[in-house]
A and B are shown apart, each in its own frame.
Chain A
Amino acid sequence: MTLATGTELATAANEHLANISNTLIYSAMAVYTLAFFAYIAEWLFGSRSKVARTAAALTTKAEKTKSAPAVTVKTAGGTAVLERPKVVVRSSAGSRDVPDGPGAHGGDEQGDLYGRIAISLTVLAFLVHLCGVIARAASVERAPWGNMYEFNITFSTVAVGVYLTLLALKKNVRWLGLFLVTTVLLDLGIAVTVLYTASDQLVPALHSYWLYIHVSTAILCGAVFYVGAAGTLLYLFKDSYETKLENGGTPGRFATSFLERMPASSSLDKFAYRLNAAVFPLWTFTIIAGAIWAESAWGRYWGWDPKETWAFITWVAYACYLHARATAGWKGRKAAYLALIAFGCWLFNYYGVNIFVSGKHSYAGV
């Protein structure tokens, strides 16, 4: 029968594509590893510089806040010169006026070079990784989000994509590189060893365009939440470092070398908040899209399935974080802890619910 032969040929091609995908994922891991070493080199060379900007800023802080902000009067020399009037920015009272650190390279030229090499390698690894995901999608002829292996490899691609996008937008995120690449390697390692599933088809319940909408936004939200959580974590370290300095303490040498190079705690806090706040409406949308799909697939839009419940818990936890930032007595560190708990909920929803709890979101083994 010609039809059967055609299908068999297609199957052979699919297996070939799946193998190509696996090779690409392993290659991406190799390049990420090279990037990892380059980031390490950046950090090591950066530790040579000994600029204690934070300390300097915090010790001179007292005089700074007392003096009135300089009033800049821009007067153009002649009428022909149309110069833009200069805007003086003044931070609100009570916040520390600490400059951002220079980054992992600590102003060291060689360190900066290695940092740039590391970013180039990350871009290369990202492209290989992305091709791996696309090959996987081509081999299964659908979106590559049918099981945990596929979800994992897509998730880490998107996380690196978010990082590179922020870099391209000239946001101050270069400090994240080493942390990100390390966790991406861990994520891919788990994917290829524990979670690997041979490419297969979806059950009819997953044959819906909502798969593309619901799962893709879930992955994007996770990736942004992840970058936000990394910022929050670093904020907590940097904040306690600054507090210690402010109170006249002397932090350890490692902490000084590491945190001196990082952005100021207020910048990190703002960075994490912006990411979380920007993606929170999208997370709301993800849950609602899931509910609409559930309504057409399972006959109810909300049924307290474990995955639904944990998506709800994650949503409420992030809502708590956003509210806490506007509540007296909860700002700063307490709100940051809430953000980390909220990301923990997201992680549990992704790994924990799939592995430990059985529910309607269990497909294809795990």
Chain B
Amino acid sequence: MSKTTTAATPPERADEPDLGAAGSQLSTAPREEPPNLPAMGVIGWARWFWRQLTSMRVALLLLLLLSLGAIPGSLIPQSGTDETKVADFRKAHTVLAPVYDRLGLFHVYSSVWFSAIYILLFVSLVGCIIPRTWQFVGQLRGRPPGAPKRLTRLPAYTTWRTDARPEQVREAALAQLRKRRFRAHLAGDAVAAEKGYLREVGNLAFHIALIVLLISFGWGQLFKSEGNKLVVEGDGFSNTATQYDDFKSGNLFTIDDLVPFSFTLDKFTGTYEASGPNKGTPRLYQAAIDYSVGAYGKDQKDLVKVNGPLSIGDAKVYLTAHGYAPVITVRDGKGKVVYHDAVPLLPLDSNVTSTGVIKVLDGYADAKGVSEQLGIKAFLLPTYTPGNETASTFPALKNPVLNLEPYHGDLGVNSGIPQSVYQLDKSHVKGFKDAKGAQLRANLKPGQTMKLPNGAGSVTYDGTKQWANFQIVQQPGTDWALGGALVAIFGLAGSLFIQRRRVWVRAVKGADGVTVVEMAGLGRSESAKVPEELGDLAQILYDKAPGAPESDDAPDDSSDQDDTTPDPHVVPAEGAEK
């Protein structure tokens, strides 16, 4: 597959019969062949298939297919990014969902057909890159082709007559071209030179970099691991699979690959716009943590910020969410502390109005000494403003009020059905009643206590801690991907901005004994730069071999010159050097 990203028209150039070898091999782009049917036989078909796959036309079609194939993944919910949306979609479209399932449309980018497209594309790419690299090496080892017979046929051309000797002109031209970093050599009566090989280098580098990028990405996906952990201030985490709240990993990942480290969340800080129209907009989130690597590693302190993850070995720790965790103490009828913990609550809005449940699973007994479980619905307003009873008015803890709604009975956690820690299953619990017989509720400020009726104990709101959610990711191959991407950019720039071009300078003795200089330039694509550069070169050479006085019959027919064989033994026009 040819990846020459230019307006180049090598076939057109090659069509011009006069240029012959001079116009060939200005790039390593393959020649387009019509899709002929192959000769019979397995090898014939295999060769035909390979040739088709590595042809520019098929590569272009595969590229088009790749962009088309990527579209559904952006419009249909993907299980890789949002599982709940996929579930919602399945519920809403009972007819369409099974069809989508069969087509793999819920995981487009790992589906068979999408993989087929990009694997074919990259096979095609490899099948193109390798022969082109060899061809290019051959071009580098060879020399620029000699001048075509009729330089007038080339896209840029100039000529003048001079009194300098032909060999002097050729020598000057050779020196000048080499000074301008052309690869130049003398071939017959003319100097042949070429420049801009970096274009091909860039082109090949770009495509090889793409392959490196794809392999690193694939490698990363196979060995990747990603998990989430909610940590309350003061609590710790150690990096083992069982400690995660949820954990995903690639097909070839093993638990032993996890980087051994542990950390404690010292303090979470969130600051917010205090006034103005954007009051409450977050300005900064950061988590101060204390971490150590390995079982006996030294304790280190560091900050994790929203755009600044912490790297520990191959693992990266990201700060992804935060919230509040009121510290609750529950006492039973006898005044014994049966529960004392910080309970993380789930934020509901941008002002961190939070909700959750305090679950006292064992150890509690009511006034009569009967063991029971307690479930207390909690609703926290970090900033309570009178009049705004159901929502917080600011995200920071300015005036926290905790609303509690206690229930007792069986919470159903032992039934084996998984349940959310933020929700209360009310099917086997009864609410505590207040004096009027209504559900007991209380608004507590930090330090306040709610008494449960009939000596059933008490619930104290001691204070509020913050929690932070950490995402811990290990993805090998990222550095390779970055390296590939950078090489791709530079390669691309080289292959698009560098022009590969040839210059020929012919100097021969004309029929009247005066030297005729001819210069011509040929670019890989039609460009204004080629004639410009040729003009510059001609100017310099003209200074060294100035124009001769006008002759009676200007040689307007180039074939005259072609017939003239240069003869160094002819007496040179010495006086011309003035």
Contacts and interface: CB of A to CB of B under 8 A. Distances in A.
Interface of A: 4, 7-8, 11, 14-15, 68-69, 71-79, 82-95, 198-205, 207-208, 210, 270, 273, 277-278, 280-281, 284-285, 288, 291-293, 295-306, 309-310, 312-313, 316-317, 319-320, 322-331, 345, 353, 357
A14 B9 CA distance: 56
A303 B473 CA distance: 13
Given A71-B558, A73-B160, A280-B492, A295 B276 contact: no
Contacts of B9: 92, 326, 331
A357 B75 contact: yes
Given A84-B542, A90-B155, A73 B548 contact: no
B277 A299 contact: no
B307 A205 contact: yes
B412 interface: no
B276 A8 contact: yes
B159 A85 contact: yes
A331 B578 CA distance: 53
B329 interface: no
Contacts, number: 248
B64 interface: yes
Nearest to B3: A323
Contact of A90 (B5, B157, B535): B157
Interface residues of B, number: 98
Nearest to B539: A84
Contacts of B3: 323
Given A82-B543, A331-B9, 9 more contacts: A74-B158, A87-B531, A87-B538, A90-B155, A91-B526, A277-B6, A300-B475, A303-B81, A327-B2
B546 interface: yes
A74 B7 contact: no
Given A85-B159, A205-B307, A280-B492, A299 B276 contact: no
Interface of B: 2-9, 11-13, 15-16, 29, 32, 56-57, 59-60, 63-64, 66-67, 70-71, 73-75, 78, 80-81, 108-109, 152-161, 217, 226, 273-278, 281-285, 305-309, 316, 318, 320, 471, 473, 475, 478, 481-482, 485-486, 488-489, 492-493, 496-497, 519, 526, 531, 534-535, 538-539, 542-543, 546-551, 554-556, 558, 578
Contacts of A88: 152, 156-158
A65 to B, nearest CB: 12
A295 B75 CA distance: 23
Given A270-B7, A280-B496, A92 B12 contact: yes
Contacts of A91: 155, 526
B535 A84 contact: yes
Given A200-B278, A205-B306, A292-B482, A281 B492 contact: yes
A200 B276 CA distance: 9
Nearest to B481: A301
Contacts of A87: 156-158, 531, 534-535, 538
A305 to B, nearest CB: 7
A247 to B, nearest CB: 21
B9 to A, nearest CB: 7
B275 A73 contact: no
Which of B75, B109, B276 has the largest number of chain A CB atoms within 10 A?
A: B276
B158 A72 contact: yes
